[in-house]
Structure 1
Amino acid sequence: MVYKASSERYATMKYNRCGRSGLKLPAVSLGLWHNFGGIDTFENGRNLVMHAFDLGITHFDLANNYGPPPGSAEEMFGRLMASDMKPYRDEMVISTKAGYYMWEGPYGEWGSRKYLVSSLDQSLRRMGLNYVDIFYHHRPDPETPLEETMAALDHIVRSGKALYVGISNYREPQAREAIAILKQLGTPLLIHQPRYSMFDRWIEDGLQDLLEENGVGSIVFSPLEQGLLTNRYLEGIPKDSRAGGASVFLSESSITPEKMDKVRRLNDIAAERGQTLAQMALAWVLRGGRVTSVLIGASRVSQLDDNVAALDRLDFTGDELDRIEAVLK
């Protein structure tokens, strides 16, 4: 059956301007880090992307190494573009990244001009696209001069293979230098993609101020702390969860009694607000307008509905914020 997007897709989604650019991003974006690889079901991925678009999620975030295996998320997304989403390409913001290991030899990872340009060419082939909207350097390279990496991003924009560029996982001093180099080159940094959640607040220590001062947007990943900031673990560790499996990002040992006590107290505050814990955690990340968009993952359509519903209640009273802060200390 040919996909036809909902005529109501822009009715309720909130869109935020990305820094001082002309681009607006949905407050909630869909990341294809999990559940879109070669080991996953194509039909489920198709349903997730189409339903997300029907909800007004216009931004789809990928990377060259997403899968598993690496590259397979972009391949699946390419199939989706060809089968269903191609008519809506101009309504979509598609991003990808390069920085982690992708192929053998000295040119298959990090931040050289050789690697970044070659990787994006491969990504475009996998997705069947002429360009991406945003291309990120995925992680800082400790050996390649930052001037070379940023010049490669500038070249990529000037070559027409990306409309904007971003960085991810850069700390404040590195981000400051990257911003200055790109500004001098004439290709302003559009966006930074750091990790951020109630339990991981490092960006509050200087990075957010730097981005605001320089008109750079932010889109944060892991806002739900790999599922810990949901009701998933309130009654123990399910066998089919990330903590119950072989995930290197959330282990059973990291779910301590002290942390679960905080999760339960936060869950009580969320319930008083008429939200799930996940919805409150997403709303908290978006509080005050300092974050442009939050990246969510999903394995079921119902998760998309639940997460987007967080936008129905983004306001916090001073008392609620104080109570949350008391829990997080």
Structure 2
Amino acid sequence: MVLSPVAGSPGPVPRRRLGAHGPEVPVLGLGSWNTWDRMSRSDAVALIRDALAHGVELFDVAHYDMGPHAENARTDLIFGQAMRDAGVAREDYLLCGKLWLWEYPRKGFAEQLAVSLDRIGTDRADLVVVGDFFGELDVRAVVRDVAEQIAAGRFTSWGVNNWSAADVWRARRFAAEEGLTPPTFAQLKYSLARRAVPEGEPFAELFADGLAMQASDVLEGGILAGNLHPQRKIGADPGDIRDRIRDTYPLIARVAAEFDATPAQLAIAFCLTNPAVATVLFGASRISQWQDNLKALNLLTHHPEDLRTALSATWVDADTMNPTGTER
């Protein structure tokens, strides 16, 4: 299928490697949580086609059915149907799925994948994120169970979400000892406001060792784009700093205006100034929103150093979060 970008929009999106053991991916990726269910079927198809035309073939899609996400969301079902409506072949996009640890090992990875992949309408992902656990975890068992699914052809690379840096090290070292596939990226909350964990020393050492970052929640559920009080469910609030993030928005808006950009473009470009970031995930529920966010790449090209200097005062979690990922 040959696709062309919408006239007047930026060209192909640059690519970075998702960790030393991971694939090359576009620096922008589209997430699914409460996204595809907020647009019409035809708009979803148009957005997917335009994303692919720009070389953005990375889609983060999950089945939300466990722990705090036991909500029977339909975004994965809608995404799968939109891909079929768009006529996109499975080999033409990268699927990043989720494996949840809320009910693990009672609900194992093979069972989870069978359900989630069937809902999308495929038999494999390309990447998965293993995440959302707090407390004790048998890291070795997780690495072995992930390896079984890789051997079964369900996916080829994996990352983690809401793991401590120490547990990521354990997983990588055990995988090396056993000749298994190590986690190649960490999906971390990272934004203009939340920097303590992604930019802290524990993860910096992992990034120096070849791990990559997949930046998520970069718009804080829309707050950093100007929707200060979202009516939909948004991500967790580590450190209980969301009101402080809202308080920084006027400054963010002023800085964006100085760069002749939108706050959303500013937020996305900021994350990409960090060389550890391989890709930034965000949701878009309108094609105009998607096309606007694409222009963050122009900002990144022309003002990478100026952005970080101008946004030094928007960091608000330094006194609430330890770089290890725990609250102070």
Q: Per the shorter chain, which TM-score range?
A: 0.7 to 0.9
Tell me the CA shift for residue 84 of structure 1.
Answer: 2.6
Aligned positions of 1:201-216 closer than 5 A: 201=195, 202-216=197-211
Q: Which residue identity lines up with residue 163 of structure 1 in the other structure?
A: T
Q: Which residue identity lines up with residue 92 of structure 2 in the other structure?
A: E
2:18 aligns with: 18
Q: Distance in 1 between matches of 2:104 and 2:205?
A: 23
Q: Distance in 1 between matches of 2:53 and 2:287?
A: 11
Q: Distance in 1 between matches of 2:113 and 2:258?
A: 46
Tell me the CA shift for residue 135 of structure 1.
Answer: 1.7
Q: Secondary structure of 1:162's match?
A: coil
Aligned positions of 1:124-273 closer than 5 A: 124-140=117-133, 142-185=135-178, 186-201=180-195, 202-233=197-228, 242=230, 245=231, 247=233, 249=235, 256=243, 259-273=245-259
- Kept after mapping to 1: 8 A contact 2:22/2:157: no
1:324 aligns with: 311
1:36 aligns with: 36
2:45 aligns with: 46
Q: Secondary structure of 2:127's match?
A: strand
- Kept after mapping to 2: 8 A contact 1:278/1:307: yes
Q: Which runs of 4+ in 1 moved over 3 A?
A: 7-11, 39-44, 66-69, 141-144, 246-251, 253-256, 258-261, 315-320, 326-329
- Kept after mapping to 1: 8 A contact 2:95/2:126: yes
Q: Secondary structure of 2:269's match?
A: helix
Tell me the CA shift for residue 47 of structure 1.
Answer: 3.0
Q: Distance in 2 between matches of 1:228 and 1:31?
A: 17
Q: Which residue identity lines up with residue 298 of structure 2 in the other structure?
A: D
Tell me the CA shift for residue 193 of structure 1.
Answer: 0.7
Q: Which residue identity lines up with residue 13 of structure 1 in the other structure?
A: V
Q: Distance in 1 between matches of 2:306 and 2:33?
A: 36
| Closer/same/farther in 2, CA of residues 285 and 147 from structure 1, 3 Å limit | same
TM-score relative to the length of structure 2: 0.82
Aligned identity (percent) is: 23
2:57 aligns with: 58
1:104 aligns with: none
User: Any idea what the Cα deviations from partners look like across 1:87-126, whole Å, max 9, x if unmatched?
Assistant: 3x223110110216xxxxxxxx433285211101111211
Tell me the CA shift for residue 323 of structure 1.
Answer: 3.2
Q: Which residue identity lines up with residue 184 of structure 1 in the other structure?
A: E
| Closer/same/farther in 2, CA of residues 76 and 141 from structure 1, 3 Å limit | same
Matched positions, count: 305
The correspondence for 2:282, drawn from 286, 293, 296, is 296
Tell me the CA shift for residue 45 of structure 1.
Answer: 2.9
Q: Distance in 1 between matches of 2:258 and 2:274?
A: 21
1:280 aligns with: 266
- Structure 2: give runs of 5+ residues left out of the alignment: 317-328
Tell me the CA shift for residue 297 of structure 1.
Answer: 0.5
1:305 aligns with: 291
Higher relative contact order (CA 8 A, sep 6+): 2
| Closer/same/farther in 2, CA of residues 320 and 115 from structure 1, 3 Å limit | closer
Q: Which residue identity lines up with residue 81 of structure 1 in the other structure?
A: M
Q: Distance in 2 between matches of 1:181 and 1:232?
A: 43
Q: Which residue identity lines up with residue 6 of structure 1 in the other structure?
A: L
Q: Which residue identity lines up with residue 16 of structure 1 in the other structure?
A: R
- Kept after mapping to 2: 8 A contact 1:138/1:167: yes
Q: Distance in 1 between matches of 2:99 and 2:204?
A: 26
- Kept after mapping to 2: 8 A contact 1:61/1:94: yes
| Closer/same/farther in 2, CA of residues 317 and 33 from structure 1, 3 Å limit | closer
User: Any idea what the Cα deviations from partners look like across 1:134-166, whole Å, max 9, x if unmatched?
Assistant: 022122364541111111111111111111111
